[in-house]
Amino acid sequence: MPTYPNNDDAVTTLVAAALFAPSPTDLLARATTLARSSTHRQLVAIASAYVAGDADRVHVLAADHASDHPGDVLVTWMAAAVTPITSTTKDPS
């Protein structure tokens, strides 16, 4: 595994890359290994829920994260962009 000069930047960079990677598992695993603070562990958990399509979990975790870190743009983006895998829309008929 490569070394990174700034662990804070590495976790955020790995998470951001995972969001757009065709196979995010390895990137999220590396981010998990480097995540030392609760803030970074929350970020990895939110990203893991995001790539799994678990919209409810993303929203709950993001709301909790935002109470302590309201300026986290990456988490805000994940919460806004996530869509559930299955639709819960009612049939209009």
Nearest to 27 by CA among 4, 55, 5, 53: 4
Contact predicate 10/40, CB 8 Å: no
Domain ranges of the chain: 7-81
Q: What is the pLDDT along the chain (93 residues), one digit of tens a residue?
A: 555 556 678 999 999 999 999 999 999 999 999 999 999 999 999 999 999 999 999 999 999 999 999 999 999 999 999 976 554 555 555
Coil, helix or strand at residue 3: coil
